[in-house]
Homo-oligomer: A and B are copies of this chain.
């Protein structure tokens, strides 16, 4: 029942590199508004933006043993994705584990639970997206699995999926779709750059997106605000 899958497949480094230039919102839109993990995942410090390959960990509540097992499966460019099988806000992860991951070139941690040592993690610039910050310790008693599909903060993550994370949250791109989503992200960004320029000059979205007729058809009316109240 407890398995570590080794030798997972990963997206091309160039594709990861490309996706890391776009934010979560852009990638999420570019792949048809799918792949977001839930809003409970928040970065421990502002400003980080990463893209990497998911190494996934399914583990019991308040037991971080399998994270130690997972470290060995990580390589440069990976992102560790940790999901307990039941709700937990315990602090599964701190600066010792971060030192270990950083030594292997891991780009960050996504955890549907708590972390601790956030002052040290911030100083190290090791980015973490977590549901809680909490010093509560965990045990090392019960097995889980590494590189199985996990549900993390309400979204599905498979090993080798591309993880994009920034201040807006975390988005998952299936490995097989990564190159296509990169293209779509580039296209979207190019189009938005033009819109941004027009909006900044004072043009209205109502006109740029040609909304006025559709709004009127649906029945929107304009009236001066009645006096008094």
Contacts and interface: CB of A to CB of B under 8 A. Distances in A.
Contact of A139 (B60, B132, B224, B229): B60
Contact of A89 (B39, B103, B171, B211): B39
Contacts of A221: 2-4
Contacts of A178: none
Contact of A141 (B141, B205, B206): B141
How many copies of this chain does the complex contain?
6
Contacts of A134: 36, 39, 86, 168-169
A108 interface: no
Considering residues A29, A42, A85, A102, which has the most beta carbons from chain B within 10 angstroms of its beta carbon?
A: A85
Interface in A20-46: 23-25, 28-29, 32-34, 36, 38-39, 42, 45-46
A43 B175 CA distance: 35
Interface residues of A, number: 103
Contacts of A65: 211, 215
Contacts of A3: 220-223
Given A29-B137, A96-B196, A140-B211, 10 more contacts: A23-B120, A25-B91, A28-B136, A33-B85, A60-B139, A86-B89, A102-B200, A119-B167, A135-B169, A149-B156
21 contacts: A1-B219, A3-B222, A6-B224, A23-B120, A24-B116, A38-B87, A60-B62, A61-B88, A62-B88, A68-B205, A68-B209, A69-B215, A71-B206, A96-B205, A99-B199, A99-B200, A103-B202, A139-B142, A141-B142, A158-B229, A159-B225
